[in-house]
Amino acid sequence: MCLAIPVLIKSIEDKEAEVKIGGITRRISLWLTPEAKVGDYALIHTGYAINILDQEQAEETLRLLKEIAEAEEKD
Amino acid sequence: MKFITEFRRSELAEGLISQIHRKSKTPVRFMEFCGGHTVTIFRYGIRQILPETIEMVSGPGCPVCVTANADLDKAIALSQIPEVIIVTFGDMLKVPGSHSSLQKVKADGADVRVVYSTTNALEIAEENPTESVIFLGIGFETTAPTIAASILQAEERRIKNYYILSMHKLCPPVIRALLDSGEVKLHGLICPGHVSAIIGSHPWEFITRDYGIPCVVSGFEPLDILQCVDMLVAQVENGESRVEIAYRRGVRPEGNREALKLMEQVFEPCPTEWRGIGEIPDSGLKLRKEYQHFDAELAFDIDPGPTYEPEGCICGDILRGVKTPADCKLFGKVCTPEYPVGPCMVSSEGSCSAYYLYGGDFEG
Amino acid sequence: MKDKILLAHGSGGKLTHELVEKSFVKAFANPFLAKLDDSAVMDFNGRLAFTTDSYVVSPIFFPGGDIGKLAVYGTVNDLAMSGAKPLYLSLSFIIEEGLPQDELNEIVDSVQQATQEAEVEIVTGDTKVVHRGSADKLFVNTAGVGIIPEGVDISGNKARPGDRVILSGTIGDHGIAVLSQREGLSFSTQLESDCAPLGSLVAEMLAASPNIHCLRDPTRGGLATTLNELAKQSKVSIRIEEEKIPLREEVLAACEMLGFDPLYVANEGKLVAIVPAKDADKILKVMRENHYGTGAAIIGEVKAEHPGRVVMKTCLGASRIVDMLVGDLLPRIC
């Protein structure tokens, strides 16, 4: 459940943001994420940002998965 | 697309699949609670590529599937009131109530509109000041804060014709009820990713503490599910039972404090009926006294009539993970996505729908 | 005050004649229409392909097109899918009372431009005006005829195990472009409908190889529905690979946001061809050289096992069934 996708915050005006994903832009609400900044990636669900994506953690996860892939290949 | 396509890369999937096959020795049954996880699992054929030691079973995490017939009947009754506009997420349109569905009443002339966001619902309310706009509030803890925010915005903008029919539900209580029933033996739980983005990972600790079942919070891409399964297997093989977050880019252990604050400001827990499961205490949300003027049930006088459950429908058993769609006599014969009998077939993430559309255990 | 279409414009009297002559006959100028007879009369030599479709798209103007353009290309494409050279169309309007005259004029211009691009003529037509509320601004019906060249025999039941499945370009563009205009969904995109005439593309494909087995354009219900229809008609299974399906980023993004599967989103300028394996590369090359086939790709093949089914190999390497679209595509939160 809970379809939420990561979007890039392009601009902020009051409690609203203009966001972009894959060439689509939309206005979304920042009522649930007042700490959002331009340049952040946010998870949006039904037109609201529900969380700010942790980009470092995303890179870390991918790094971990790459390590697993390399280790498994060797075996 | 950033943070989506990277988590679908097949070469990374291969590594995880290989590791899972190598490490998984103990036969286990894992449950994915969340309907969105069910869709990913079926859509990418994940069940086929997991080793024989791992059995996957789907849980009741589909807010549409678990909406009681009686609640649907209320929504339908409200749609019959003149000068009412029912605004809803698309998921609810085809769900059968006791006698009808929102899609059917819409075809008969009721004003029922589908939106992507409550912000659209507020616009509809502002554009139609002489009509009453009733928003059907479904969803778990991911969605409830957005509905709460819409109510606070309605107050701010002095919108007097916006109402909510709250059918929101909470996850931890239903998981507890499921585990207490002892109907299904589980060795691991794939915890919902976006619910956890709101409530954090601490609310799942009761599962490891009271039931000894490993829990891992997962994201929604295929690599996320595989990583989660890998982490569950590791816990099982090491005899551990703790709450871990695999979906680290989306979930913090403390969750989203602002969202929780708004949700608690506007709503309070109440007992609610779960289709196929029954009433569970403190598992639903109702509007607090200060916001009761937004409550559609209080503002409008309706008589939805007696509730009728379709015969032969075993959605309840399927939602609790006790039976699979293949066990249902109606599945695929009488009950299809075109002519659904129960909600598990209607909702795009209901088990029956997933089974039907993606071919269940299709091999080949 | 802007001119609007009135009920009187459809009553058959003076206003109707004025509308037909000033707006339609003038725009589509050709000897058939100029006669203003009850029927257009013509000679045919060869096998006739004959089709019809009604167009009720809302909104009537959308990014990349309008209902008029759609009405021409849609019917032209149905003819092309039989291998026919599209020739003549009929054009019927059912206009809702109150439609602004300049909107109708814009649609008529669009129809005229589309007929030029598709190299067809409007030879007969009809106009009705209905009460406000009885039609959603404008409904259009077109019927079309074309001639099928000798030796060409294309049908949905001719797919054979071993055949290759070719898709002429990206999927989902039309459906998402139209959706971006719908109330309650509001997102902005540069994406336009892929609405296009495929007659010339098909002619070039047949020139490269007359042995094409099946042709179909995946309109409503998307690629998935079309492939299912072909699999059932031919009693074979069709296997496609997810990673080979051309898809624009904007379409993927919109589908992810709204919870759609691009396989089910409508297209208006694409075709699926099922061809013998030995001709596949040759046909693909020719397609890519045509303006309307630049994004063409081989997306799968035909097999004998599991007849009637469409199976997709996912990016994980596992396979899953792809079923037909059921009901409407609805945005979801779950």
Instruction: Count the Cβ atoms, other than its own, within 10 Å of residue B183.
Output: 12
- Per residue in A39-59, pLDDT (tens digit) is 999 999 999 999 999 999 999
- Range list of H helices, B4-117: 10-23, 35-43, 46-49, 69-79, 102-107
CATH number for the domain harbouring residue C62: 3.30.1330.10
Query: What are the chain B neighbours of C320 within 8 Å (beta carbons)?
Result: 42-45, 358-359, 362
Residues C114-140 have pLDDT tens digits of 999 999 999 999 999 999 989 999 999
Domain boundaries, chain A: 5-74
The residue from C148, C173, C207 where one domain ends is: C148
What's residue B135's pLDDT?
98
Range 7-66 of A in CB contact (< 8 A) with B? 8, 21-22, 27-29, 31-35, 41, 43, 45-48, 50-51, 53-55, 57-58, 60-62, 65-66
Q: Pick from C90, C121, C148: which residue ends a domain?
A: C148
- Return the sign of the alpha-carbon dihedral for residues B46, B48, B50, B54: positive
Q: Does C244 touch chain B (CB under 8 A)?
A: no
The owner of tokens 């429908």 is B313
How far apart are alpha carbons B151 and B155 in whole angstroms?
6
Omega before C59 cis (within 30°)? Answer: yes
Note whether C295 and C170 are same-domain residues: yes
* Cβ neighbours of C332 in A, within 8 Å: 3
**Cβ–Cβ contacts within 10 Å for residue C184, how many?**
17
Tokens, residue C101: 């005259």
Report CB contact under 8 Å: B48, C318: yes
Q: What is the CATH class of A5-74?
A: mainly beta
The DSSP symbol for A47 reads T
Same domain flag for C106 and C241: no
Output the CA torsion sign for C294, C240, B94, C188.
Answer: negative
Task: Sort B21 into a burial class: Cβ within 10 Å, 0-12 / 13-18 / 19+.
Answer: middle
Q: Provide the ipTM.
A: 0.95
Token pair, residue A39, equals 């340049």
C273: left (phi over 0), alpha (psi -120 to 50) or beta: beta
C177 touches chain A (CB under 8 A): no
pLDDT by residue, tens only, chain C of 334 residues: 568 998 888 888 888 888 888 888 888 888 888 887 888 998 888 999 999 999 999 899 999 999 999 999 999 999 999 999 999 999 999 999 999 999 999 999 999 999 999 999 999 999 999 999 899 999 999 999 999 999 899 999 999 999 999 999 999 999 999 988 886 677 888 899 999 999 999 999 999 999 999 999 999 999 999 999 999 999 999 999 999 999 999 999 999 988 889 999 999 999 999 999 999 999 999 999 999 999 999 999 999 999 999 999 998 888 899 988 877 777 778 7
Domain boundaries defined on chain B: 69-170+255-296
Distance from CA of A51 to the nearest CA of B (A): 7
Domain presence at residue C154 = no
Q: In whole angstroms, what separates CA C201 from the centre of its chain?
A: 14
Question: Phi first, then psi: what are they for C216, rounded to 5°?
Answer: -155, 145
> Could you tell me the CATH superfamily of domain B69-170+255-296?
HypD, alpha/beta domain 2 (3.40.50.11740)
Per the structure block, which two tokens stand in for C314? Answer: 């996912």
Q: Does C231 touch chain B (CB under 8 A)?
A: no
Strand partners, C93: C127, C140
Query: Among C100, C117, C148, which residue terminates a domain?
Result: C148
Closest by Cα among B21, B24, B32, B26 to B58: B32
Residue C306 inside a domain? The answer is: yes
Closest of B244, B321, B239, B241 to residue B26, by C-alpha = B239
Q: Flag whether C2 is in a domain.
A: no
C182 contacts chain A (CB < 8 A): no
Q: Considering only CB atoms, which chain B residues are within 8 Å of C258?
A: 116
Q: By C-alpha distance, which of C127, C141, C144, C130 is closest to C25?
A: C127
Cβ distance of C317 and B36 shorter than 8 Å: no
Domain with C43 in it: 7-148
Burial classification of residue B295, based on how many CB atoms lie within 10 Å of its CB (0-12 exposed, 13-18 middle, 19 or more buried): middle
The chains in contact with chain C, meaning 3 or more Cβ pairs closer than 8 Å, are A, B
Chain C CB within 8 Å of residue A64 CB: no
Please tell me the total count of domains within chain C. Answer: 2
Report the distance separating Cα C219 and Cα C263, nearest Å.
Answer: 11
List chains touching B (3+ CB pairs under 8 A).
A, C
Burial B96-109 (b: 16+ CB within 10 A, else e): bbbebbbbbbbeee
For B194, the closest of A2, A31, A71 (CB atoms) is: A2
